[in-house]
Amino acid sequence: MNEHPKIHDHHRQRLATVYIRQSTLRQVAEHLESQDLQYQLVARAQAWGWPAERIAVIDEDLGKSAVSSQERYGFQRLFTDVGTGKVGLLLVTDVSRLARNCADWYQLLDLAARNHVLVSDSGGVYDPRAYDDRLLLGVKGAFSEAQWHLMRAQMQAARLNKAKRGELALRLPIGYQRLPNGQVILTADEQVQTSIRQVFHLFRRLGSAHAVLGHLQQTGLRLPARAAIWSGRPSSSGTEPVTARFTRYSNCPPMPASMPMASGGGKGCPARRTHAMAGGCPRPNGKSCSGMPFPAILPGRNIWKTRRNWRKTGRPPPLPTRPTPRSMAVRGHNPSPPKARPPKGRPARGGRC
């Protein structure tokens, strides 16, 4: 057993918790060495005197970002264990695995200091109760948050620069695939094409998204959806893994705005794009491939928000306007503050007290 001057017996009587996290599902599928380094922290805890039954591994947050703790149930569990005094040592490869915002980081540090919990990373072991260690941990947490903002700004600048050159290719909706030369065509899977055409047919016949979803649920029909874990690299045919699942409002897959977009001669839309966030190929009349006066392909665009429904109703939905004082008064609101009145029981001006 390797002795450490900051680790005592009362620490070993509690749990040694190893927190493991990676930001995206692509990192989970490809960055296996990073996972292995994080799982090796179990051996470090055993070398410091913790038996295997008192070592807890929290890896529920694989594929989740540390910008927020709202969807990170593993971090919430860790936060609860530290607050209740179950943890004696917290092990991570880097503090950025725990949090990339100072709010969550300093709350965790406060609980660790109150319950005598040590924090260990690749740089050493820190005691949040000691001023020097807490100062160093605070600087590391602040740098972790700043690093996230810097990386995001750099990636956004690179994305915009690529879009200015017309080479930005975004993720396509289900039903399309991109060839190696950049051409966008309909997917070769006939079952996927049939399912999507049926959705458009039902939408034209029923007239609302609620009716379409109700019909799909009553008949038990499944819609194509991307696999839960995907490495981000298409196969040799240029397609992604697609599965079929029952449809609800919470998991309705993004649909292409117009299915006949790529059916004109089988050419589809060229890879060169003229807009930073969408990719319609312009024509002399100013319209896109689908005949609509806006980009035809918008990855993640929902079928229920297309202008085809606007044409069917005859007019687009009205834009929200700022309420005027007259409209507020009609609805019973008083747009102006009430006039000041003297309080009751106060004598009039000039009277005697």
Structure tokens at 218: 């009553």
Identify each DSSP E strand in the chain by its residue range: 15-22, 55-62, 87-91, 118-121, 124-126, 176-178, 184-186, 223-226, 242-245
Catalytic residue among 23, 69, 144, 195: 23
Q: In what order do the strands lie in the sheet with 124-126?
A: 55-62, 15-22, 87-91, 118-121, 124-126
Helix (H) and strand (E) counts for the chain?
11, 9
The CA distance from 193 to 116, in Å, is 60
Distance CA 127, CA 113 (A): 7
Residue 342: both structure tokens together: 């003297």
Secondary structure of residue 118 in the 3-state scheme: strand
Distance CA(185)–CA(352), nearest Å, equals: 91
Q: Measured between alpha carbons, how far is 210 from 118 in angstroms, rounded to an integer?
A: 53
CA neighbor of 92 nearest in space, from 54, 111, 130, 66: 66
Residue 219: closest CA among 209, 230, 211: 211
Q: Is 23 a catalytic residue?
A: yes
Residues labelled catalytic: 23
